[in-house]
Every structure is written in C-alpha cells, then in structure tokens.
Structure 1
Amino acid sequence: MNCIVLGGGGFLGSHLCDSLLAGGHFVRIFEKKGSSKINIKHLINKIDLKEGDFSDLDNVREALSDMDIVFHLIGTTLPQSSNDNPIYDLSSNLVATVQMLDIAKREGIKKIIFASSGGTIYGVPQVLPIPEDHPTLPICSYGIQKLAIEKYLHLYHCLYAIDYAVLRISNPYGARQSVESNQGAISIFIERALREQPIEIWGDGSIVRDFIHVSDVARAFVKSINNCTDYRLFNIGSGVGHTLRDIISEIEKEMGHQLKVTFTYARKIDVPANVLAIERASQALDWSPDVPFSMGISQMIRDRKLLS
C-alpha cells in the first residue's frame, strides 16, 4: 500500500513509519516545513518526505496524490493548552482536517486512519474500564475537536464511501518522546530523575491513567489497515490503570534510589481516572499490547542513559 503519515516526523508518527516500512509499505511523510527531523533521521533514505502547511490546500493535495491510506496524526495543540485558545484549536485542527477530507475524496483515498484521544474524549468516566460506547463528554477543547473529527470521518464515509478507522489512544510513552512539550508523564519523570531534578506532580499523585508503549500503538495502526469488520472506533490502551505514584515507584526501583517529588495544585482538565477497555481491538484487529508497564519504563531508562 502507498501510505502517507501526516505528522510522521513526530513521536508516534516516526514509530508508525518504522512499522509500515517493516511491513513492506511505501511511506510518505508530511511534516511542517522546518520541523525537526531528529525522529526520522534513520528513515530519510527510505521514505518520501513532503513538507508544507496542513492548512494549505495545495500542500495537502500534493501530499495526498497517489496515496492509498492516510494516517492522520497531526495535532497543533495539547490537552492542557487547548482551552487557552479554542478558536485556534478548532481552526488549525478541525477545519484543516475537513479540508483534507475534501481533498481525500477527490484524490480517491481508500482509507483514513485517525489518531484520536482515548484520554480526553470520554471526560469523567461513568465506568472503568471505558468501552467505546461510553458517553463522550470531553472537558477540554482538545477532546472536543478530536471528537468532532471522528464525526466528520463518519460523515464522509456515509456521503462518499471513504473507509476510515479511529484509534482512541490512551497515554503513549516510549523512545523519541519529547520532554519539551510538558506532555507524557513517564518521559518527563524519567528525564528529571536522570538529571537529579525534583519531579513535580499535579495533585496528590493518585490520578489513574492507562499507559501504552508506543510500539504497541504503532502495531495497532498497521493492523487497522486491513480491518474488515463493521467496527471503526477502537480503544488502544493497555487496559490497566496506574497512578502517577506508580510511575515514581517503578523509576525508583529501576534506578535504585528514592526520587525527590513535589506536589502542586491539581489541574481542572485532569479526570480522576482513565482506563480503556480494549476487547474490541483485541477481537476485531487481532491486536493486544505486548510491552508491560514495568518493562517499558526499564527500557526507557536504559535508552535515555545511553543517549546521555
């Protein structure tokens, strides 16, 4: 298949490109002009790189030309910052995506696979683990625009028969995750621990999250290419919840000493718990996570030590 990964130079996108290439697919990456290529430097001679503005119709049209599958991983905002400027959040993500869908219709794209947010779409959960048919009441603009994109994918499927899949991803972690964006608790905690800096936790550390290794997420994306079931929405997580204190304990166990931790005010965008039910993905995609929580953290610490 000819595959384009929108946002393929990022943390998750670069791992997806690795998996697609390993599966024998042709891979094109679309990235913002001038963006860092550090995550894909090992792939530069194996992929077709297009640079441009996701909001520019000509740039997107050129990028989608001759492609079969579109993996949409572009996002311009983060959950914690999206409420600060919801107009920008919507214009740069939702509007730009609908423009892309219109181009995809004209270019004859066979399938669009979208990286949604299992961590924000559902809002405060009524049950745990959270199934795909749980009510969707996001409490941040980021989750609202992700949900709106899901609805537009369904609309374009109904109107123009463009196939699609939505992966509602929990909290991915692993190699190449940037610590500069202040997103990704495991990555940030490990980085600060290795630098012998205090780790700041919002709230009392009791919030529960579903952490999934990036390699497992990449496999789920590739598996979704050939999904022939009636299901198009999939939770992609570990199905197991861990607190922020659990992360600290695992890092301390691996490093052999106690970490300095400080606590600050809880954030309004943080739901108390989020753990995803993954039975649908297991059955329909023949997928399940391979990397256990403790193994993933140990691997990250070893990788970061090698880099430093």
Structure 2
Amino acid sequence: MKNDGILIIGGTGFLGGALAQKLYREHAQHGRPIHILARHAEQQSQDMLSVNRGSLDNTELVRGLLTQCSTIIHAASTTTPGVSARQPTLEASQNILPTLRFLELLNDCGPKQLIFFSSGGTFYGTPEISPVSENTPFAPHSYYGAGKVAIEAFLHAYQIQTGSQVVILRPSNVYGSGQPYRPGFGIIRTMLEHVLRGSALEIWGDGEIIRDFLYIDDLVDACIALISHDQVSGSFNLGYGEGHSLNTVIRTMEAVCATSVKVNYLPARQLDVARIVLNTDKLRQHIPWNPRISLSEGIDLTWRSLQGQPSQ
C-alpha cells in the first residue's frame, strides 16, 4: 500500500494545493506518485506527478486514476455557506451527487484509504458545550453544513460495505499563505484584502461571534500524518482549539499590519453560528500532531505573503 499513488481531488484549490505541494516534496521521493484531479487544472505530467483536468463526472478518467492510487484525498467543494444559502439543490447537484457517483466507482476498486474534508465550522450548529467534540449531535444552520452531514453518512456506509479506511476531517476556519480571495468566504483572507485595498469590511452582527482559526500548514501536517497512519479511521475535528471573536481578530490584524481596519457592522444573519471551537483531543490520540502556528503568527505569515515579503 505504501508504494501506491496518492490522488488529490481538488488538488489545485487552497487546501488541496497546499497538500499537493508538501506531499510531492515528501512522498514522491519515497516512490509514491502524486496525482491531482481538478476542474481548472493545467494538464501536465512529470516524474512522480500528474495533473489531470476534469471533475468527478469524468468517469473514465477517475476510474483510471483510482487503479493507480491507494490513498484518496477528497478536498473539492464548489459551494460556500453563503452561496447555497437559499439553494439547497445546489448542494445536491454540485457536491452530494458527484461524491455519490465517485463512491460508485470506488465500490469496484477494493479497499482504499479515503480522507474527506467535511466542515467543523458548520457541522455542529451552536453547541451547548465548548470546545465541541465529535460525539456532539450535528445541527447545521446552513445547507452547506447539511450537505456535509449527508456526505458523511454515505461515507460511513461506504466504509462498512467495502472495508476501506475512511477518515473524515472537520476543519475549523482555515486560512493562510496562498489562499485566494473569494468574496463572502474566509474571514481572515477577506479582512486582509480590505486592508490591502483600504476599503471597509462588512461584518454581520456585532463582531462577537467566536471562531476557531487554523493555519494551513497545521492542516497539511495533520493530513500527512494521517496518510502515514493508514489504519486510522473515523471522524475527527481539526482546529487550533482556541476561540477568537471577529473583533479580536481585527485588533490582532491591526497590530500585525500596523494599520486600522475599517468595519461596517450589519444586522446578524440566522445562518451564522454564534460560537464554534473544536476539541481536537481525539485526533491527537491517533497521530503525533499539535497545531503550531498562533493566530498572530498566522496573520503575519499571510500578510507577508500577500505583500510578496519572505516569512521570518
């Protein structure tokens, strides 16, 4: 199993791209070729790396890739909580159905190691206990979160039917160097974009909602550790384990960037969770991992990358 390929679905996105870069550096040299499948990729092939342009609907392409790979990382998603806020069928057509068609192909491939990126920020709603653990009942406020719940249920059935090792990761708010600006998604990246432009940031509510922020390098390290521990399976929170209000993030950003952040506060939205901080004890019991990069350090690294400055 260790000598087989690794397939990253969504391998040119923020999460998938960061994973692909580090996996190529660390695993290709040990004989594990890296395969990337992405809808907007530029087709290329080189020693131990192949980049394939396509989606999960490209049946023949996906089937061919699966024959070469024993580890699959599903890091693709085409929606955000805001995008599908009034369109539940969007989650079904763009995320749930493509994943189910993918599972149909996997059913014929024998046992695999499958790592799926779910959502820790939208899965639990506003839990009564914080930090929230994996055994907390799901209570999504958004159709995006409900879509993740549905996919997790199908993955559980897939694992039982095939004997594959399935890892479901529920990350918190991930940010960091290399994250593209997408309006309405990624609050730290959005804040920094407004700092760059000198424009006003819009915040829904009073800015006191609490979030758990995880730097991209810490997420990548956890995923790579799980690939090495290929007998691990189950659902795992993946966060820093500390909560910060949006107002705290703004003050931290102002100190790091040595500038003020212009903010317009708008009425709160029902889909926004009041507080979510993830308990990561379960994950750390299974792999040798701890998040290393604090909020202020992560904002500094991201800010420097946006300005084209080297990290310190």
1:251 match: 253
Aligned counterpart in structure 2 of residue 5 of structure 1, from 4, 8, 14: 8
Q: Which amino acid aligns with 2:243?
A: G
Greater shift, 258-267 or 125-134, is seen at: 258-267
Unmatched runs of 5 consecutive residues or more in structure 1: none
Q: Which amino acid aligns with 2:164?
A: I
Contact 1:66 1:107 in 2 (8 A): no
By how many angstroms is 1:301 displaced?
1.0
1:105 match: 107
Contact 2:111 2:163 in 1 (8 A): no
Q: Which amino acid aligns with 2:159?
A: H
Contact 2:253 2:299 in 1 (8 A): yes
Please say if 1:158 is aligned against 2:160: yes
Q: Aligned residues, how many?
A: 302
Aligned counterpart in structure 2 of residue 168 of structure 1, from 162, 167, 170: 170
Please say if 1:274 is aligned against 2:281: no
Contact 1:172 1:184 in 2 (8 A): yes
2:147 match: 145
Q: Secondary structure at the match of 1:68?
A: strand
- Alpha-carbon distance in 1 for matches of 2:269, 2:62: 36
Contact 1:105 1:162 in 2 (8 A): no
2:35 match: 28
Contact 1:231 1:284 in 2 (8 A): no
1:207 match: 209
Q: Which amino acid aligns with 2:102?
A: M
Contact 2:125 2:140 in 1 (8 A): yes
Contact 1:70 1:109 in 2 (8 A): no
Aligned counterpart in structure 2 of residue 54 of structure 1, from 34, 39, 56: 56
What is the correspondence of 1:185-224 to structure 2 with a 5 Å cutoff?
185-224=187-226
1:95 match: 97
Q: Spell out, residue by residue over 1:26-69, the C-alpha distance to the aligned partner (whole angstroms, 9 max, x if none).
A: 2111011xx266xx99x977620111132232332233231111
Unmatched runs of 5 consecutive residues or more in structure 2: none
* Identical amino acids, percent of aligned pairs: 32
Distance 1:27 1:229, change over 3 A: closer
TM-score by length of 1: 0.92
Q: Spell out, residue by residue over 1:147-199, the C-alpha distance to the aligned partner (whole angstroms, 9 max, x if none).
A: 11111111111111121100000000001212134211101101111221112
What is the correspondence of 1:50-89 to structure 2 with a 5 Å cutoff?
50-89=52-91
Q: Which amino acid aligns with 1:23?
A: E
Q: Which amino acid aligns with 1:21?
A: Y
Q: Which amino acid aligns with 2:113?
A: K
Contact 2:238 2:280 in 1 (8 A): yes
Q: Spell out, residue by residue over 1:53-107, the C-alpha distance to the aligned partner (whole angstroms, 9 max, x if none).
A: 3223233223323111110011111111223221121122112111111211212
By how many angstroms is 1:258 displaced?
2.3
Contact 1:229 1:284 in 2 (8 A): no
- Alpha-carbon distance in 1 for matches of 2:148, 2:213: 19
Contact 2:111 2:162 in 1 (8 A): no
TM-score by length of 2: 0.91
Q: Which amino acid aligns with 2:18?
A: H
1:14 match: 17
Q: Spell out, residue by residue over 1:272-304, the C-alpha distance to the aligned partner (whole angstroms, 9 max, x if none).
A: 000000111111112110111110001111111
1:289 match: 291
Aligned counterpart in structure 1 of residue 302 of structure 2, from 297, 300, 303: 300
Distance 1:7 1:181, change over 3 A: farther
